[in-house]
Amino acid sequence: MDYLLDFRPLWLTLKVAGLATAVAFLAGVALAYLLARRRFWGRDWLDAVCTLPLVLPPTVLGYYLIVLVGRNGWLGRWLEDTLGLSLIFTWQGAVLAAALVSLPLVLKSARAALEEVNPDLENTARTLGLPEWAVFLRVSFPLAWRGILAGTMLAFARAMGEFGATLMVAGNLPGKTQTLSLAVYDAVQAGNDQLALALVVLTSGVCVLILAAAGKILRTNAW
Amino acid sequence: MHIQVEVKKQVASRGRTFSLDVAFASESERLVLFGPSGSGKTMTLLLLAGLLTPDAGRIKVGDRVLFDGPKRVNIPARRRAIGYVPQDYALFPHLNVAANLVFGLAPRWPWGLGQDDRGRVEEFLEIFELTHLSTSLPRDLSGGQRQRVALARALIRNPQLLLLDEPFSALDALLRNKMRRELLKIQEHFAIPLVLITHDPEDVAALAQTVVCYGQGRVEQILPATPDCCRVRGEAGIAPWASILC
């Protein structure tokens, strides 16, 4: 039965990548709004720190996460004590790792898209009686959504392929935390070339679909 | 309408600083801020609208104090009841004409419009001759139509004061004259006080009751816009660009 494809890594990957993308979307758009529209001390530093996951080796990110949310990390201890939630060697940990590596992709696209929005439009909305949250929801976001969506799809593709940080935080437990990229590694190590090939084709296919769709959304004419 | 402005504001960008320090008061229904680009006219409008905060000073419109530095009064833009039409009209490009008008009537969207508001939108579409365009997007409108939408959108909220930044600069010369007459009619129809920015003496001649002359962040002169103002031409101390006014 070795040659039959085990679909569990695929479902797990989709679940982890989907949730990670949701987290990265919310955090990324909020941070992008701050960086694009607010002036505050330390803005450039915040921008630099948020870009780090793009350039640091995933193992370094994994290490940070272990320090932060591990059993002895201050956040990890708090989570375990109050929510009874442990992130190490669980699929929730994989979500956190994937969200962290894909955050900069949402952030960069969303920031660029929000900066493109003419501030006169936001100002006019304010004089028309809108509070700040409504200015964002009714003017800034609808005008920037193409860029934000394209960034979010890239983030999803990146989250699907996440390997290093996931391995360090969530481990490689078949059926529990083993995502596609980890399954490929296992298959190659075990000399199971057929399985490896099938997984590779599957992963590549899904990513190509996502990238092509993102490109199409960005090219569609705006107003 | 009594308007009293006394504000200081300093801004720095890319190593250059600009400082605005202006004071004027007027009872006019049509006040024109006149002066060259970069003299601080637009900044004054933004301060009046509450979109920028002065470093110091006091702004009073009618009997409402909108900003008072020492007393820490600063009413946010959304509660100032001041209509603002920026230079390029700032129509929301993703919304059609009717939705642009509705925009300010339901500031807490998506909780919809009442029957009264619906009627009001119909009425304003009619007054501004936009009924046949109600489902058009801004990109499909001509310059004059865009301006009418922007005016209707601001006025539908029944503001106390209307601010217009270079309202005719985006229009060609023929249309400019027509829109000046339309603006006058609208101003009289709604009895809405105007503060308008321009660097075109013809706008001043057609619209102004009082002219506030700007230069480099200062008020150089406040003139009643009667034919008498020609007499100031050539007088000592008046800025050279102010004399083209007459």
What percentage of chain B carries pLDDT values higher than 70? Answer: 88
Angle at A83 between CA A78 and CA A88, to 5 degrees: 70
CB contact at 8 A, A127 and B80? yes
CB contact at 8 A, B143 and B171? yes
* Contacts by residues A136-145 (CB-CB < 8 Å, ≥ 24 positions apart): A136/A33, A138/B103, A138/B109, A139/B92, A140/A33, A140/A37, A140/A114, A141/A29, A142/B94, A143/A116, A143/A117, A143/B93, A143/B94, A144/A110, A144/A113, A144/A114, A144/A116, A144/A117, A145/A113
3-state helix, strand, coil in chain A (%, to 5): 80, 0, 20
Please check whether residue B140 touches A, CB under 8 A: no
CATH 3.40.50.300 fits B3-43+52-243, yes or no: yes
Q: Is A88 helix (H, G, I), strand (E, B) or coil?
A: coil
pTM for the model: 0.85
Model pLDDT, residue B205: 85
CB pairs under 8 A between A and B: 68
Question: Which of A220, A92, A127 is CA-nearest to residue B86?
Answer: A127
Mutate to test the interface with B, among A37, A121, A128 (most CBs of B within 10 A): A128
Mark yes or no for CB contact B82/A124 under 8 Å.
no
Collect all residues of chain A within an 8 Å Cβ-Cβ radius of residue B108: 134
CB contact at 8 A, A182 and A189? no
pLDDT digits (tens, 9 = 90+) for B86-108: 999 999 999 999 999 988 887 55
Its ipTM equals 0.87
Please check whether residue A120 touches B, CB under 8 A: yes
Q: Which amino acid does the sequence have at A214?
A: A
Question: How do B194-198 and B161-165 pair as beta strands?
Answer: parallel
Please check whether residue B50 touches A, CB under 8 A: yes
Largest CA distance in chain B: 60
Of all residues in chain A, the one with the smallest CA distance to B78 is: A129
Minimal CA separation from A26 to chain B, in Å: 21
pLDDT digits (tens, 9 = 90+) for A163-211: 999 999 998 888 888 999 999 999 999 999 998 998 899 889 988 988 8
Mark yes or no for CB contact B84/A143 under 8 Å.
no
- Compute the distance between CA of residue A202 and CA of residue A5 in angstroms, rounded to an integer: 11
Please state the domain extents for chain B.
Answer: 3-43+52-243
The CATH class of the A8-219 domain is mainly alpha
Residues 6+ apart with CB under 8 A from B83: A127, B154, B155, B157, B159, B161, B162, B163, B192
Structure tokens at B5: 């402005």
- Compute the distance between CA of residue B39 and CA of residue B36 in angstroms, rounded to an integer: 6
Question: Which stretches of chain A are assigned E, i.e. beta strand?
Answer: none
Structure tokens at B245: 């006014």
User: What is the DSSP annotation of B135-185?
Assistant: T--GGGS-HHHHHHHHHHHHHTT--SEEEEESTTTTS-HHHHHHHHHHHHH
pLDDT digits (tens, 9 = 90+) for A117-145: 999 999 999 999 999 999 999 999 999 99
Mark yes or no for CB contact A223/B137 under 8 Å.
yes
pLDDT digits (tens, 9 = 90+) for B119-175: 888 999 999 999 999 999 999 999 899 999 999 999 999 999 999 999 998 888 888
